[in-house]
Structure 1
Amino acid sequence: MFIINPEDGDQFSDVELAYQKASGLIALSDEDWASVGPGYSYVNGTLVAPPAKTPEEIQTKLNAEKVAVNTAKKAELITVAIDRVSVLQDAVDLEMATDDEIAMLKTWKTYKVLLSRTNTNVQENISWPSAPDQ
């Protein structure tokens, strides 16, 4: 159940219902609320839909979402690379590294640098550098 204040369109949940009932608020069932959703307002006894988003607003939101996904993926890939470099660097520092580990250290460091240079502020699909073989 959601409550809408007809004066300003503020919305309240069931928890606030008992207190708000006395203030002349309008109660909507969960079913009614689901049919209207956030962004609606109550004006002169009528529920009014929010203005439709323009194609530009929709595209801007989609672009921002894609950038956020790209940025999150970059952070995840860099975290994996940092972890791998750390272990390999420890083996080198402790003079415990095999020849293969020494070679892999350079490969993982190169991968990490390439990732850091990847521009994630784009909406198109990114061509990510290939991760070294484990």
Structure 2
Amino acid sequence: MSYAVRKDGQGFRAIDGPEDIESHETYYEGVPPTPIALPLSAGEAANRAREAREQLLSVAANRMGPLQDAVERNKATPDEVRMLDMWKDYRIELNRIELQQGFPSSIVWPPVPGEQTP
């Protein structure tokens, strides 16, 4: 099968032969190359970052709940109090990602409490 592949790499279409290509296309026989993805717009990148943040905040809330319960009931160990403080700091940092200078194209995500960093 023959294809007209866009010169910008953004897609292709099936054609009968080389006479069917247009000026912005090249002729290609066989399996066409995988299209190159367009970069995200600033708005799309910001929305994806916010969605990722919301997922991480949900995880944080699930981790914090039992720790907060233990603290409120005066049943928390020193390690649990420390972990709750770490999760609270993590949540604060997540909520401030939009204030980072490189947002949304360059985000420094805070490390997850209790996970080792390389």
Does TM-score exceed 0.5, indicating one fold? yes
- Give the alignment partner of residue 122 of structure 1, picking from 99, 103, 109: 103
Q: Give aligned pairs, total.
A: 79
Task: State how 1:46-57 maps to structure 2 within 5 Å.
Answer: none
For 1:88, the equivalent position in structure 2 comes to 67
| 1:62 maps to 2:41 | yes
**Is the CA contact (8 Å cut-off) linking 2:97 and 2:103 kept in structure 1?**
no
C-alpha RMSD over aligned residues: 2.6
CA distance in 1, matches of 2:109, 2:66: 23
Task: State how 1:1-134 maps to structure 2 within 5 Å.
Answer: 62-119=41-98, 122-133=103-114
The secondary structure found in structure 1 opposite 2:97 is coil
For 2:3, the equivalent position in structure 1 comes to none
- Residue 87 of structure 1 and its aligned partner are, at CA, apart by 1.2
Question: Structure 1 residues 107 and 123, CA, compared in 2 at 3 Å: closer, same or farther?
Answer: closer
Computing the radius of gyration from Cα coordinates, the structure with the larger value is: 1
Structure 1: unaligned runs, 5 residues or longer: 1-34, 36-57
- Residue 88 of structure 1 and its aligned partner are, at CA, apart by 0.4
Give the partner amino acid of 2:92. Answer: V
Deviations 1:75-99 (A, max 9, x none): 1111111221211000111122111
CA distance in 2, matches of 1:122, 1:93: 36
CA distance in 2, matches of 1:122, 1:130: 17
Sequence identity percentage: 32
Structure 2: unaligned runs, 5 residues or longer: 1-12, 14-37
The secondary structure found in structure 2 opposite 1:77 is helix
